[in-house]
Amino acid sequence: MTILTNLLFIFAVVMVFNFIIFIHELGHFWAAKWRGMKVDRFQIWFGKPIWKKTVGGVQYGLGSIPFGGFVSLPQMAPMEAIEGKSLDENEKPLAPISPLDKIIVAFAGPLFSFLLAVACAIVVSKTGLLEAPPNSTQIGYVEAGSPAEQAGLQVGDVITEISGETPVSFDGKFDAVASMIALSSGEEIEIKVKRNGKEIITKSGYTIPEKRNLLERKGLRQIGIAPFELVYIGSVMANSPAELAGLKKGDKLMSINDEPITSFLQVNNLTKGAEEALKYTYEREGEAGSAMIKPEFPDLPEGFDRRLIGITYMPFMRSEIFTSYPSVPDQLKESGTFMWKSIKAVADSKTSVGVEQMSGPIGMGRSMFSIIRSEGGIQRLLWFLVIININLAILNLMPFPVLDGGHIVMAIFEWITRKPVPMKVLEYVQSGFVLLIMSMFLYITLKDTMDFFVPKSEPAQFLPKG
C-alpha cells in the first residue's frame, strides 16, 4: 500500500477514537444540560487546549494530551487535577445539585457508550462479518516435552472443558481453548477431554514465553498444543526449492516424511532446522503428488540464518470464508464476557495476566489500523467498536474516584448521609487517583509503543538459478 493510503487509514483511526470519546462525553453534556447544570467546558483530550471556541457560555476545545476527554461540570465533584480550574474564578458560588442529578449525569456517559455499541452491533448484524471456517476443540499436535504431553494429552483428544468452562473453538474467540488457557488461574489447569468415547480429566502445568527485553510484554500461558486443522500451501516463493519441486499455492499438505499432517505447528516443528531433503506429500484437485525437497539458504539477504524451502501455509482456502450475521445480544454478551474475564484475570493474583497485557489508545489504534486495511474491514471495525465501547462503559462504571462509577458512589453516599463528601477529601483522593491512572496509562502506552520495535528481518529471496 502507498504511504498516502496508510496515512489516510491512520487519520481514519484517529477520527474513530475521537468519535468514541465525543459520544461518551456528549452523554454527560446533554444530561447536564437537561438537569439545568452549569457546563464550563467540553473538551476532547486533556491538557492545555490547542484549539478552543466559546459558544453559549461553553468552551469547546481539543486538548494537547491525546488521551480521553471531559465535560467540566463545576457542580459535580472537583476535577481540577484533570480539567484545570474554572474559567471564571470570580464567579459566584453555584447552587448545589441533588445526588440524583449527579447520578444521572455520571451514568449518561457510559450509557451513551453502550448505545454506540448497540448501534454498531445493529449495523454488523445487518451487513455481516467475513469469518474463517470455525475450528473444533480437537487437538492436532502435542509438542514433545510440553506440559500437555506430561499431562497425558494426545493428538485426537477433543477438549470439552477447561477449568470447568466449555470452549466453543480452539482459538479466534474469547471463549476458545487458547484464551481459556491464557487466562487460567492457579498452578495447574484442569482439562477434560473425550478420547475414544471415554471422558478423561487431567491437570496440566504451563509455560510462558520468555521476554526478549525488560520493556516487552510478558507472554501468556501456553501448554504446547495446537488445533486439528488442514494445512494448505498459501504461497510459493519464486525460484525457491519448493517452486522448483513443483509445489503450488492451494496444494493440501498430506504428510511430511510419511507422517500425516494434522496441524501447522506440527509442520513447523518437523521442518525446523532440517538440512536434508524431506518428502512432501500433497493433494491437488483430488490428485495425490509428492516431492523430495531439500531446504536451502536464500540468496538474499546475505547471512540469512536458516534454511528454507520457500512456502507459507494457511489453514483454509479463500473459498471457505463465509459471512456470519451475529445478533445484537450475542455481540453485546461476547464483549461483556470478555471484559469481565479480563478484569477478573488481572485482579486474580493466581493468573499470569497483569496490567501490562492491557492495551491503551496506541495498542487499540494499531489493532484498528490492521482491521480497517483487511478485507471486509469496515464491518470488522464496527464489530471491534462494539467491544471497545462496552469496555469503555464498564470501565467507567467501576467505583473509583475520577471515573463515572466513583461519582455515582459518592452521590449515593451523599443521598444516604444527606451531606456531600468534604471537598478537601475529594480533592486529595481524586488527585491521587489521577496520578495512579496517568501512571498506569503511561506504563501501558510504553508497552504499546515497544510493540512497534519488534525486530523484523528482511524478506528472504531466492535468485534464478544459472
Question: From CA 10, how far away is CA 220, in angstroms rounded?
Answer: 29
pLDDT single digits (tens) 292-337: 999 999 988 888 888 999 999 988 887 888 899 999 999 999 899 8
CATH of the domain at 340: 2.30.42.10
Are 39 and 87 in a shared domain?
yes
- Domains: count for the chain: 3
Confidence at residue 82, expressed as pLDDT on a 0 to 100 scale: 47
- The closest of 129, 155, 127, 131 to 141, measured between CA atoms, is 155
Are 218 and 330 in a shared domain?
yes
pLDDT single digits (tens) 62-85: 888 766 778 888 877 655 444 445
This prediction has a pTM of: 0.83
Question: From CA 463, how far away is CA 311, in angstroms rounded?
Answer: 15
Exposure string of 15-51, with b = 16+ CB inside 10 Å and e = fewer, is: ebbeebbbbbbbbbbebbeebebbbbbbbbbbeebee
Which helix (H) or strand (E) segment holds residue 194: the answer is: strand 189-195
Average pLDDT, the chain: 87
Are 297 and 252 in a shared domain?
yes
Are 241 and 175 in a shared domain?
no
* C-alpha R_g of the chain: 27
With respect to residue 463, please indicate whether it lies within any of the assigned structural domains.
Answer: no
Confidence at residue 91, expressed as pLDDT on a 0 to 100 scale: 56
**Domain extent at residue 89:** 3-128+369-453
- The closest of 25, 28, 22 to 105, measured between CA atoms, is 28
Q: What would the mean pLDDT of 228-252 be, rounded to a whole number?
A: 93
pLDDT single digits (tens) 331-351: 999 899 888 888 888 888 899
Residue type, 396: N
More confident residue, 1 or 433: 433
Domain end, chosen from 332, 359, 386, is at 359
Are 255 and 299 in a shared domain?
yes
Question: From CA 454, how far away is CA 462, in angstroms rounded?
Answer: 25
pLDDT single digits (tens) 156-173: 999 999 999 999 999 888
With respect to residue 281, please indicate whether it lies within any of the assigned structural domains.
Answer: yes
Are 216 and 340 in a shared domain?
yes
With respect to residue 464, please indicate whether it lies within any of the assigned structural domains.
Answer: no
